[in-house]
Every structure is written in structure tokens, then in C-alpha cells.
Structure 1
Amino acid sequence: MAENRSEEPWRPAFKTGQIFFGDPQECCDCLIWELRTSGARIEVQPEAMPPRAVRLISIALFLNQPCEVVARDGRKMELRFSSCTERAPPRPR
């Protein structure tokens, strides 16, 4: 039986990131407020109008994920990670 991740609690992140989308490639800065295994809650500039499919990247969180926009309320967006998992390589300590 598949694990139900919608019951997983959100954990604070509060890191910067970027979302990439479109052809030609466009980029939009964002603030990542919360994370869980299956997605993220982010905030973007009010004029940002990304499509339904984006890529979320945050070097600070070692995050590089294709995502689907599942909800938007003003500047806040909820993203669901696609099944493909890619993580940025860890930084040397």
C-alpha cells in the first residue's frame, strides 16, 4: 500500500530558491517557507505567473525538484514534487 504523504506535517524551511519554467527558460526568485517529502510552500513576486509545471531549486536546501503547482493564493504557492527525485550534490564541509 502506498504511503499517504498528505498527512505528513510541514516543517519550516525559510530559505531562498528559484523556480524555472518555460521555453525559452525563465527564472523567478522565491522564498521557500515550508517543506515536506512530497512538496513545498513558497512565496513569489506578485507579478510572477509560472505555469503548472516548474522546477524548484535551492542550493541552501540541496533541492532540485520538478514540481507541479497545486494551489496559489496571491503570492503563496503550494508545489507537489514530481516522482523524479534529483538532489543537488552536497557541498564540501
Structure 2
Amino acid sequence: MKHHDYSDSGAAEPVTLTQLRKNIFQMVDEVIATGKPLTLTRNGCSLVLAVQHQEQSKLARLKPRNTVIGDLDSLESEDTGLWDADHGFD
């Protein structure tokens, strides 16, 4: 992916709307990939395109835990009880 020229301060050079229109998908992908905002200029006004922090889902925030006690391979050979409606599990 071609990156835009950055000034000595590390900030991205402002981009005109014409430049954005020609390369919008590439520029947006770059902002997402690098996290560096993109400054757009039009008639002396500046707009900034930046990635907002997106909170992770509850599932993504779960910490992995070692919950199996014993040998994982022995789980394959474990016998399970048979269900009987009158007596429950054997």
C-alpha cells in the first residue's frame, strides 16, 4: 500500500477533495491500517478523517482460562451416564 508523504512533524499532508475522490478507498484503508488521521482541505477549511475507538464485544474480551482438570486426551474415553426418565442418570 502506498503511503502519503508526511511532513517533518509526522503529520500527514492535507489532501484536497479532488485527491480524495481519486483515491478514496486507498486513503480510507490507510487511515484504518495506520491509525493516522487524514486531513482534508476545502476552501480554507480543514476536516479530519480518523478512526474512532471501537469497543470489543463481550466475547472478544473474555480471557482464556485453563478449565479442564486432568488429561485432555482422557476426555475422549470418558463414559457418560445413560438417561432414564424414571431413574435419571445411571
Q: TM-score, normalising length from structure 1?
A: 0.23
Greater RCO, CA 8 A, separation 6+: 1
Between Structure 1 and Structure 2, the one with more strand by share is: 1
Q: TM-score, normalising length from structure 2?
A: 0.23
